[in-house]
Amino acid sequence: MSLPHTLILHGLGGSGPEHWQNWLAGELAHHGGSVDLPWFSSPDRPRLSAWLDELRSHLAAMPTSSGGTGSVERVVVAHSLAGLLWLHHAAGPFDESLRVDRVLLVAPPAVDFAGEPLISEFLHPALDPAAVRRAAGSTRLVVGEGDPYCPVAKGKELAEALRIEVDVIVGGAHLNVDAGYGSWPAVLKWVRSGRVPLTPR
């Protein structure tokens, strides 16, 4: 089975070289997959309008076929602030050409998180299950127990509001390098085959 084309989206400040997103990109490329790991403008001082424009340009550039051998699956993996970015995108004007097959939202901040002024523009996205289904064939949420930006209860509320499945990673915190997530085989398995639930590293 051919690998999907994977668009990997970072959060506030970007994903450093030890982050599982960079590990994932390397693993997929090593196995012959096509990967897009963009760097959003002003990652330390993000603007919602700029990031939305950049996200949509990368979605528009995703391949729709695999060189005459049929369609290619299109997958998005969004960490932290990029999870809220995706919800804003989904709630915006629908464009069929930007629709993807699967989305994984990893450790997004709570939609009403008040502890970081730099992300204030990204808060309170519309929580519209129909819009989320239009934007992607399936969407899954992963939250870490002990995440300072999103308590598990808030994550479950988000999943319920969007009518999507949620996996809770025991001890996962923000599912970043500080939490020990440099490599994460479970997320690679999810990208390759859709295997669920997501499990700890």
Report pLDDT digits (tens) over 48-89.
999 999 999 999 999 986 555 578 999 999 999 999 999 999
Second-level CATH architecture of 5-193: 3-Layer(aba) Sandwich (3.40)
The predicted structure's pLDDT at residue 69: 59
Contact 51, 80 (CB under 8 A): no
The predicted structure's pLDDT at residue 68: 54
Average pLDDT value for the chain: 95
The predicted structure's pLDDT at residue 12: 97
Listed by start position, the domains of the chain span 5-193
Contact 70, 37 (CB under 8 A): no
Mean pLDDT per block of 10 residues along the chain (201 residues) reads 91 95 97 96 97 98 73 96 98 96 98 95 97 98 98 98 98 97 97 94 90
The predicted structure's pLDDT at residue 83: 98
Please provide the DSSP assignment of the chain as one string.
Answer: -PPPEEEEE--TT---TTSHHHHHHHHHHHTT--EE----SSTTS--HHHHHHHHHHHHHTS-SBSTTS-B--EEEEEETHHHHHHHHHHHS---GGG-EEEEEEESPPPTT--S-GGGGGGSS----HHHHHHHEEEEEEEEETT-TTS-HHHHHHHHHHHT-EEEEETT-TTSSGGGT-S--HHHHHHHHH---S----
pTM score, whole prediction: 0.96
